[in-house]
Structure 1
Amino acid sequence: MGNRNRLDLYHARCVRIGAGVLAQCALDCAATGARRVLIVTSAPIARLADELSEHLAEQGLTSTLFKGPDGEPTRADLSAALTSAQDFGADFIIGLGGGSAMDVAKLVAALFGERQTFDEVVGTGLLAGRALPLACIPTTAGTGSEVTPIAILEDEAAQLKKGVVSPFLIPDFAYLDPQLTVTMPRKVTASTGIDALTHCIEAYANRLAHPVVDSWALEGIRLIGENLEIACNEPDNLSARENMLIASHLGGMCLGPVNTAAVHALAYPMGGEFHVPHGVANSLLLPHVIRFNAEEAPERYARVAHMLGVADSGDAARDAAAGIARIEDLSAGVGIDRRLRDVGISSNALPGMAAAAMTVQRLLQNNPREMNEEQALRIYEAAL
């Protein structure tokens, strides 16, 4: 396992970290010569968007808000956001929120001007460029979307998520401000934290694993293991909140050169058909996919366990199993649902989900162990 011959790295031009860096975004926008800024956000965090608008106004910039969905974004949401940007005459785009808001903002910045349609760029490397400058400001600590070359939308007709992968989607500016995450509900803190953990684990235990990316993934795993429960139990703890943002960012950095694998492929139908939050879907599937994979890469999963605080016994298989138990305990400790039936999925739905998961080959091909439709069905059954 591993890819030591080639590594393509893409990063945001400027990443600012620390309490209060939200205000710096307005200065950076003004420095680009922008005059009209579209802020893509969601209703629950409109207060933060208003605060950002005030900072922009202080720098002489005009802004308007596009309030997208609270849940997973759809093609209809993207169409509405593009219309808003065109009508306003935006020359700079900001994504403020969780992965949903940031993914829509990334696609608006890329597709503004209608040079390409969403259908034309679904897949890898099909985007011709980005039309407008872009900044992303996460208010959750999970997707790492502020640094990824990926944007995901739900195709309502297909009941499946579709992804655009391109270095042109990586923002020019990213801001990790822990003050913006303290009002996250416990449930969102938990599910987004497990999402970040899944990014790191799947990038580390991956056919394309690379030593440089390994270092990011392992540090992200360590930070989440040490800080997720604190962030859930002490929401005003800025140190834990900042560490979770950094871990999420590290997980996002892994997605460009390596990306995720079977957990995410199997999670996609759960979001597309049943609208299960992405982090919750990952949490439900992660232990079961690791059990499936562990025999193929026990040393890798043992190392994951060690970063989560499991003592090194010298037996990789034993430590990998202990790591699975640690992940299950962590999910239970922060209050995430444990079974598919807890989120409204019945056994009748599983065969269709397994078939749908098999269409996500861009991720399944990264998995340490090859997986077929029957094996995917067995994993869903184990998680039911």
Structure 2
Amino acid sequence: MKEITLLQPAKIVFGTGCTEQFCKDYTAMGLKRLFILTAPVIRPMIAEMTATLNAAGVATEIYDEIRQEPSVNDFKKILEAARRFGADSVLGVGGGSVLDVCKLVATLVDSEQQIEDLFGIGFINKRGKWFACMPTTSGTGSEVSPNAILLDERDALKKGVVSPHLMADAAYIDPKLTWTVPAKITAETGMDALTHCIEAYTNKFAHPVIDVYALEGIRLIAHNLLRAVKDGKDVEAREALSLGSMYGGLCLGPVNTAAVHALSYPIGGEFHISHGLSNAILLPSVMRFNCSANVKKYAQVAVACGVEPCATDEETAMKGVEFITQLSKDCGIPTTLTEIGIPQTAVERMAKAAMNVQRLLKNNPREVTEEDAKAIYSSLY
């Protein structure tokens, strides 16, 4: 069996209501200046937590102006705010973009490295300040991954920073924080998490250690996403999605994603479409493209989704693609690029841009050429 390294936070706390544990753990460490990254809608949800920290003598500063898809320039402004505050620790409470920025701020607040030099794998030269991640969506799994994504305005392309130094010191995954997430965001982030698991399981570099997380993540998300979209306070469904999202995040470090994510980056970079929505639209088409390269595993994906096995793996795999397509529709997600306002004239430049994301395309079970990328995009009109 080939070697694999599974990175994860030093501490993972999972469970409804576990945000209370964060205050106890944090104050016990003796840290005193906590820079908190979040979003305006989430700020009231952490008011009690910050009050508890302040009463214990912890100085906090809350930055809640993170855009849905933060750019390099956005990040630089946030980093400067953390430096002015004199942060000795950082907490991210929010969706994937908030958590990604948290990881990068903690890493670079005392560093002379420049963010533009860190895109790619393994370029961060040292660990930064202590930081924790607290997700409020069930999507990116960023709280347990060594990855962070920013929009690089120079190339109108979202780019990734990957390093073991971006692994959180602690992750507090409280499904209660997801109860008020709107149905649309629940659907899109849930499809992002499902994509993580499917791409990890069918990946060229898939591994039995990670397959366990990926398959269980597929099962949990496929069986509970629509329930949570229909009823945001379905506690059982929310807990299942939070767990499935975490499993997807654990897949990202050792195996990572593939063509769906690579093709989604130009959509988000140029047209500012949310990452989850881009992935959801692309996923069925990329699955069809890839199926012949790993039909047995795609059949297993289908079964994990709840599809009854057919006479052949090919038939089962295609039923799985149909299931994913229907799940997206049932959750209210568009199925074409036309529906989200992307003109067909953009296909050629999106395909060209996607070819720059080789760190992910190299993982795909089937080689993707620029012509293939054009064909996949074109099939979505």
Which of the five TM-score ranges fits, normalised by the shorter chain?
over 0.9
Match of 1:91 among 61, 65, 88: 88
Alignment of 1:163-312 (within 5 A): 163-312=160-309
| AA of the residue aligned to 1:174 | A
Residue 130 in structure 1 maps to residue 127 in structure 2: yes
Instruction: State the shift of 1:47 in Å.
Output: 1.0
Q: Secondary structure at the match of 1:161?
A: strand
User: Following the alignment from structure 2 to structure 1, what is the Cα–Cα distance between the partners of residues 73 and 46?
Assistant: 22
The answer for the alignment partner of 2:359 in structure 1 is 362
TM-score between the two structures when normalised by the length of structure 1: 0.98
Q: Secondary structure at the match of 1:44?
A: coil
**Contact 1:264–1:363 at 8 Å: present in 2 too?**
yes
Residue 328 in structure 1 maps to residue 325 in structure 2: yes
**Contact 2:128–2:165 at 8 Å: present in 1 too?**
no
Provide, for residues 189-211 of structure 1, a one-character-per-residue CA deviation record: whole Å limited to 9, x for no partner: 00000000000000000110000
User: Following the alignment from structure 2 to structure 1, what is the Cα–Cα distance between the partners of residues 232 and 172?
Assistant: 20
Q: More displaced, 19-28 or 283-292? A: 19-28
**Contact 1:26–1:59 at 8 Å: present in 2 too?**
no
* Number of residue pairs aligned between Structure 1 and Structure 2: 381
Residue 139 in structure 1 maps to residue 136 in structure 2: yes
The answer for the alignment partner of 1:351 in structure 2 is 348
Instruction: State the shift of 1:70 in Å.
Output: 3.8
| AA of the residue aligned to 1:172 | D
User: Following the alignment from structure 2 to structure 1, what is the Cα–Cα distance between the partners of residues 172 and 34?
Assistant: 16
| AA of the residue aligned to 2:373 | A
The answer for the alignment partner of 1:101 in structure 2 is 98
**Contact 1:22–1:175 at 8 Å: present in 2 too?**
yes
The answer for the alignment partner of 1:8 in structure 2 is 5
The answer for the alignment partner of 1:50 in structure 2 is 47
Q: Secondary structure at the match of 2:81?
A: helix
Residue 341 in structure 1 maps to residue 338 in structure 2: yes
Instruction: State the shift of 1:313 in Å.
Output: 1.9
Q: Secondary structure at the match of 2:38?
A: strand
Alignment of 1:25-64 (within 5 A): 25-64=22-61
Runs (4 or more) in structure 1 with deviation over 4 Å come to: none
Provide, for residues 289-325 of structure 1, a one-character-per-residue CA deviation record: whole Å limited to 9, x for no partner: 0100001111010000000000112410000000000
Q: Secondary structure at the match of 1:295?
A: helix
| AA of the residue aligned to 1:293 | N
What runs of 5+ residues in structure 2 fail to find an aligned partner?
Answer: none
User: Following the alignment from structure 2 to structure 1, what is the Cα–Cα distance between the partners of residues 267 and 228?
Assistant: 26
User: Following the alignment from structure 1 to structure 2, what is the Cα–Cα distance between the partners of residues 37 and 125?
Assistant: 27
TM-score between the two structures when normalised by the length of structure 2: 0.98
User: Following the alignment from structure 1 to structure 2, what is the Cα–Cα distance between the partners of residues 52 and 148?
Assistant: 25
User: Following the alignment from structure 2 to structure 1, what is the Cα–Cα distance between the partners of residues 18 and 202?
Assistant: 34
User: Following the alignment from structure 1 to structure 2, what is the Cα–Cα distance between the partners of residues 59 and 223?
Assistant: 39
Instruction: State the shift of 1:69 in Å.
Output: 2.5
**Contact 2:156–2:266 at 8 Å: present in 1 too?**
yes
The answer for the alignment partner of 2:150 in structure 1 is 153
**Contact 1:41–1:49 at 8 Å: present in 2 too?**
no
User: Following the alignment from structure 1 to structure 2, what is the Cα–Cα distance between the partners of residues 238 and 62?
Assistant: 33
User: Following the alignment from structure 2 to structure 1, what is the Cα–Cα distance between the partners of residues 201 and 297?
Assistant: 7
User: Following the alignment from structure 2 to structure 1, what is the Cα–Cα distance between the partners of residues 55 and 296?
Assistant: 54
| AA of the residue aligned to 1:87 | R
What runs of 5+ residues in structure 1 fail to find an aligned partner?
Answer: none
RMSD: 1.0
**Contact 1:39–1:49 at 8 Å: present in 2 too?**
no
User: Following the alignment from structure 2 to structure 1, what is the Cα–Cα distance between the partners of residues 329 and 60?
Assistant: 42
**Contact 1:305–1:324 at 8 Å: present in 2 too?**
yes
User: Following the alignment from structure 1 to structure 2, what is the Cα–Cα distance between the partners of residues 238 and 70?
Assistant: 28
Q: More displaced, 188-197 or 108-117? A: 108-117
User: Following the alignment from structure 2 to structure 1, what is the Cα–Cα distance between the partners of residues 65 and 160?
Assistant: 18
Q: More displaced, 61-70 or 9-18? A: 61-70
Instruction: State the shift of 1:372 in Å.
Output: 0.2
